[in-house]
Amino acid sequence: MAKKYRVAVVGATGMVGQTMVEILTEREFPMEELKLLASARSRGLRVTAGDREYLVEEALPHSFEGIDFAFFSAGGAVSKELAREAARRGAVVIDNSSAFRMEEDVPLVIPEVNPEAVREHRGIIANPNCSTIQTVVALQPLQQAAGLKRVVAATYQAISGAGKKAVDELMEQCRAHLAGEKGTVQHIAHQLAFSLIPHIDIFLDDGYTNEEEKMVRETRKIMALPGLPVTATTVRAPVVNGHSIVLNVELQAPLTADEARALFAKAPGVTVLDNPAEKLYPMPLQVSGHDEVYIGRIREDHSVAHGLNLWVVADNIRKGAALNSVQIAELLL
């Protein structure tokens, strides 16, 4: 009989946590036990996954006794408080927050890109930022074929990345705007409805945001290219789910758009949607609920030598968070 594992999901009542539970069930992860954990205020809630109902428990250090895999999706503060406690009790922690991503002894893993890195873990494996994941999945085939020289990213990020309260706020703002009323601004920096906000996470001293800095540092770490020139501008868009990213890539060697298209068609975890004549290109509404990273608008950048432009779209809650975490655990099996 195949071995089964005792699994815990921390932050099980949040958007990512609930999706994680769904994906564990969908992919038939070999579980002997599934324990759903959250904050004290969520204790006693019930979550349905597959044909079973689970009672949510409060996440405490002793909750991880006997647990084999602990998926964390409750934010950096909770990860810093409990992830090492879980690892000390023998669990392999797969953490979706930014708490450990840049620590030297913590692998930062995208299974399609650097699966071998999981072998280096010492109890904690970090899941990258949602935008970084789909960016690097798109960059990896180009790096392997022609080498990366410089990467410029501009993101259009869905509000689901900021959590359910932010999603609800966008919906309320849309209703208010259409009624000629002023919407509530509480969980988002400004009104997002019918607008764009070039501001995600806190601003740093150099004028970049922490979200932009994450994309730069994480891309270099995952791809083992510490000197790669990367720059990013991250923008919040009035989209419920699905991040979109414009990538302008300079390569070390020539690569035509057709050659890039052929590379992406064979790349793991990638679907090419690229036929402008038929108005075929990826869009967030279309890819929401899907697991792949979708790439379209592949074209040569005539302003530089060996340049390409790409349009990259993915479900930020699935591949950008929950699915990637589960795929990391599957590597360890």
pLDDT-derived band at 112, boundaries 50, 70, 90: very high
| CA atoms of 48 and 86, how far apart (whole Å) | 24
pTM of the prediction? Answer: 0.96
Model pLDDT, residue 50: 77
Q: CB-based contacts of 76: which residues, under 8 Å, 6+ apart?
A: 97, 98, 99
Name residue, tokens 């359910």: 164
What is the model's pLDDT at position 51? 81
Q: Percentage of residues in the chain with pLDDT exceeding 70?
A: 100
Please, are residues 125 and 94 in contact by the beta-carbon 8 Å criterion? yes
Does the pLDDT of residue 24 top 80, yes or no? yes
The pLDDT tens digits for 252-295 are 999 999 999 999 999 999 999 999 999 999 999 999 999 999 99
Mark whether 187 is an active-site residue: no
- Name the catalytic one among 121, 130, 177, 290: 130
Q: Is 243 a catalytic residue?
A: yes
CATH architecture label of 132-316: 2-Layer Sandwich (3.30)
What is the CATH number assigned to the segment(s) 5-127+321-332?
A: 3.40.50.720
Question: Is pLDDT above 70 for 103?
Answer: yes
Query: Which of the residues 187, 243, 290, 302 is marked catalytic?
Result: 243
Closest C-alpha among 3, 4, 11, 2 to residue 86: 11
Domain boundaries, the chain: 5-127+321-332, 132-316
Domains 5-127+321-332 and 132-316 share a fold: no
In b/e form, how buried is each residue of 95-133, taking b as 16+ CB within 10 angstroms?
bbbbbbbeeeebbbbbbbbbeebbeebebbbbbbbbbbb
Q: Is the per-residue pLDDT at 228 higher than 80?
A: yes
